[in-house]
Chain A
Amino acid sequence: MISPEVILQVLASGIVLGGIYAIASLGLGLSWGILHVINFAHGEWILISMYASYWLVILLGVDPLMLIPINILLGALVGVLTQRFLVETTRKGGALASILSTFGLSLTIIGSSQLLWKSYARTMPNRYINMVVKMGVVRVSGAHFVSFLISIGVITAIYIFFKRTLVGKAILASSEIFGDPEVALLMGVDVRRIRLITMALAGISTGVAGNLIATFYYIHPYIGTLWCILAFVVVVLAGLGSLKGIIIAGILVGILESVGSLLIGTAYSYILVFLAFILTLYIRPRGLMGRR
């Protein structure tokens, strides 16, 4: 059963899936790594974009990829609202307060989507889901492949944003891992506004992720939890404050999941992922490429 072709196939689908995991985790990595805000509503941020894309595709009949600009705006809005009204008001309580308050937000979003759209598992009709991309001996789902390309593009754009723009540099300077918030404040950086922009950025990448995931994964009020856990796995494996680490960890999780699907079946493939996660925390609590 396990021939070289099978191994290549497992690797290829793992890598493609890993790119998607990377963008699904990027928002969490940004808010956690830069702001020390542990966003337990991350999965529900993804859920909002998934439902938004689903309904726009159903109602307007457009191509899902045309919706990326809308999801960027929506994601930024969600990020700004969460930061302004929830995270900023509970800042005094530290990381645990941010966990509990965003946990409350996640319950509210799950409940609202259950109330509005019932607990059906929905799939978005689109032309990418039945496409197959052939590359030599391996085949990859078209929806996965397109999502992979776009997520690599978005991650590169965010990388360039941090390296080249003044705002990006200001964000890094006012974070605790790369700089020092107090020094940044003394240098005239409006730290409060920077936090808002960082959260908006986290929202944007999460919004794009939701849009992409909706093209191939089913949409259900509780599915955010799964993506939230996966994103946490990726961010923790990567280590805080490493964009490269997120890509590597995403691909690692993708490969683990496709190996798991091969060995113990699709529904249980996450067992392997979580076991690897707990093991990594045991061996390297700071993640693969973490700073400090």
Chain B
Amino acid sequence: MLSRVLKSKPLINIVKFAASLILLSIPFKLLKLHFILYLMTLILLYAYLGQCWNILYGYAGQLSFGHAAFLGIGAYVSSILLIRFGISPWIGMIVGGAICALFAFFMSFPLLKLRGAYFALATLGMAEVVRLIVLRLDFITGGGRGLLLPVVTSPWLLLFGDIWHWFLTALGMNLALLYISYRIEGSKLGMAFRAIKQDEEASSSVGVDVFKYKMIALLLSASLTGIGGTFYAQLVGYIRPDIILTTERSDEIVVVAVIGGIGTLWGPMLGSAILLSIRQLIYSLLGGTYMGVHLIVYGILIMIIIIFAPEGLYPTIKKRLMMEFGEAKSRGTPS
């Protein structure tokens, strides 16, 4: 049974995953356990963001520590459109994603010339510049006070009253992203990404247009993260630079993907489930009295993973299960 699950097609796994999550959520909805539904929504949101990051690093090998910039741009664009112009976030989401892609396009000229650590540093600097600029443009972004979204319930404005609807929306976003990632993995694009990740010079010498494919990965990752930013803003209900544009957000996105498994379809989901469960558990057990405990846990988790299972938990666990239950032959493409 288990070996069948491990070997079945990813597409079928995605459908099974969605169905089982919805089935799992229904009892919580009926019992009105809103806390658990909220936790599941957060897990799905961070899994989504982790997977966006994963497209850039896991598939194409470009390590970013600045994804909070895209998250923030997406959140601010849709919120400003909603508050100032009354435009629905469903549309603002797309606009935010497009502006993220545009921003990433302009940033790509200095960024994509850089490799490895230099790229990572430049993205860190980029996120910091975006934070400072948002603080400076306080006549439109509200500066340090941030923006408060209207307190209404309206599905058209992406503001649900029922937490279950938030959960379903997050699930839908994840399914779309998982499908996109699955298609990328199997396509020529995915092959080019993997080639670039392994060796840029070698892949360029066999005719892979390295700059073009790195650009595609960056734009895809940035715009999808921007869409996630809109969802984040709508869910939380307010945005401030010190909430959405901090290095802590960028860090959490990195931690989710690294713990789960870089370059895999299901890694960010697993990482997010572990990380967010721990985070919410710490928040609810310790409250605000012991600040920083969650960061200690993140840090220790990352160090343990890098030392003992550098590929991440999902590939490690999968390999173990394969050795136990199935023939160890599916060594090919990661999925």
Interface residues of A (CB under 8 A from B): 32, 38, 86, 89-90, 93, 95-97, 99-101, 103-115, 118-119, 221-222, 225, 229, 232-233, 236, 264, 267-268, 270-271, 274-275, 277-279, 281-282, 285
Q: Is the CB of A111 within 8 A of B124?
A: no
Q: Is the CB of A111 within 8 A of B295?
A: yes
Chain B: interface secondary structure?
helix
Instruction: Specify which chain B residues have a CB less than 8 angstroms from the CB of A99 in the assembled complex.
Output: 63, 117, 120
Q: Is the CB of B306 within 8 A of A274?
A: no
Q: Which of B243-296 contact A (CB under 8 A)?
A: 247, 251, 254-255, 258, 290-296
Which 9 pairs between the two chains have the least Cβ-Cβ distance? A114-B292, A111-B295, A108-B299, A104-B302, A107-B299, A111-B296, A111-B292, A282-B110, A104-B303
Would you mind naming 20 contact pairs between A and B with Cβ atoms under 8 Å apart?
A: A99-B63, A100-B258, A101-B302, A103-B65, A103-B251, A104-B300, A105-B299, A107-B251, A107-B296, A108-B296, A111-B294, A112-B296, A113-B292, A115-B292, A229-B128, A268-B135, A278-B122, A278-B129, A281-B110, A285-B113
- Which of B113, B121, B126: most chain A CB closer than 10 A? B121
How many positions in chain B have a CB within 8 Å of any CB in the partner chain? 43
- Which of A38, A93, A101, A109: most chain B CB closer than 10 A? A101
Instruction: Specify which chain B residues have a CB less than 8 angstroms from the CB of A278 in the assembled complex.
Output: 110, 122, 125-126, 129
Given contacts A90-B307, A281-B118, are A104 and B301 in contact (CB under 8 A)?
yes
Instruction: Specify which chain B residues have a CB less than 8 angstroms from the CB of A232 in the assembled complex.
Output: 121, 124-125
A219 to chain B, nearest CB (A): 15
Instruction: Specify which chain A residues have a CB less than 8 angstroms from the CB of B297 in the assembled complex.
Output: 111
- Which of B128, B247, B293, B295: most chain A CB closer than 10 A? B295
Instruction: Specify which chain A residues have a CB less than 8 angstroms from the CB of B109 in the assembled complex.
Output: 282
A262 to chain B, nearest CB (A): 16
Q: At the interface, yes or no: B310 with Cβ under 8 Å from chain A?
A: yes
Q: Which of B206-236 contact A (CB under 8 A)?
A: none
Q: Is the CB of A281 within 8 A of B296?
A: no
Q: Is the CB of A271 within 8 A of B133?
A: yes
Q: Is the CB of A119 within 8 A of B291?
A: yes
Expressed in whole angstroms, the Cα–Cα distance for A104 and B308 within the complex equals: 14
A63 to chain B, nearest CB (A): 31
Q: Is the CB of A104 within 8 A of B125?
A: no
Q: At the interface, yes or no: B332 with Cβ under 8 Å from chain A?
A: no
Q: Scoring B residues 295 to 324 as 1 if CB is less than 8 Å from chain A, else 0, what string do you get?
A: 111111111001100100000000000000
Q: Is the CB of A274 within 8 A of B113?
A: no
Q: Is the CB of A270 within 8 A of B254?
A: no
Q: Is the CB of B294 within 8 A of A285?
A: no
Instruction: Specify which chain B residues have a CB less than 8 angstroms from the CB of A110 in the assembled complex.
Output: 292, 295, 299
Q: How many A-B residue pairs have CB under 8 A?
A: 128
Q: Is the CB of B306 within 8 A of A271?
A: no
Q: Is the CB of A285 within 8 A of B291?
A: no
Instruction: Specify which chain B residues have a CB less than 8 angstroms from the CB of A119 in the assembled complex.
Output: 291
B271 to chain A, nearest CB (A): 13
Q: At the interface, yes or no: B34 with Cβ under 8 Å from chain A?
A: no
A221 to chain B, nearest CB (A): 7
A112 to chain B, nearest CB (A): 6
Expressed in whole angstroms, the Cα–Cα distance for A110 and B302 within the complex equals: 14
- B306 CB contact (under 8 Å) in A32, A38, A93: A93
Instruction: Specify which chain B residues have a CB less than 8 angstroms from the CB of A38 in the assembled complex.
Output: 117
Instruction: Specify which chain A residues have a CB less than 8 angstroms from the CB of B302 in the assembled complex.
Output: 100-101, 103-104, 107
A24 to chain B, nearest CB (A): 16
Q: At the interface, yes or no: B116 with Cβ under 8 Å from chain A?
A: yes
Q: Is the CB of B293 within 8 A of A111?
A: yes
Closest residue of chain B to A228 (Cβ to Cβ) is B124
Instruction: Specify which chain A residues have a CB less than 8 angstroms from the CB of B128 in the assembled complex.
Output: 229, 270, 274
A61 to chain B, nearest CB (A): 28
Q: At the interface, yes or no: B140 with Cβ under 8 Å from chain A?
A: no
Q: Is the CB of B122 within 8 A of A281?
A: yes
Expressed in whole angstroms, the Cα–Cα distance for A104 and B302 within the complex equals: 5
Q: Is the CB of B114 within 8 A of A281?
A: yes
- B125 CB contact (under 8 Å) in A106, A113, A222, A229: A229
Q: At the interface, yes or no: B183 with Cβ under 8 Å from chain A?
A: no
Q: At the interface, yes or no: B83 with Cβ under 8 Å from chain A?
A: no
Closest residue of chain A to B107 (Cβ to Cβ) is A278
Given contacts A97-B310, A110-B292, A118-B291, are A229 and B124 in contact (CB under 8 A)?
yes
Expressed in whole angstroms, the Cα–Cα distance for A114 and B116 within the complex equals: 30
Closest residue of chain B to A100 (Cβ to Cβ) is B306
B168 to chain A, nearest CB (A): 32
B133 to chain A, nearest CB (A): 7
- B110 CB contact (under 8 Å) in A86, A106, A279: A279
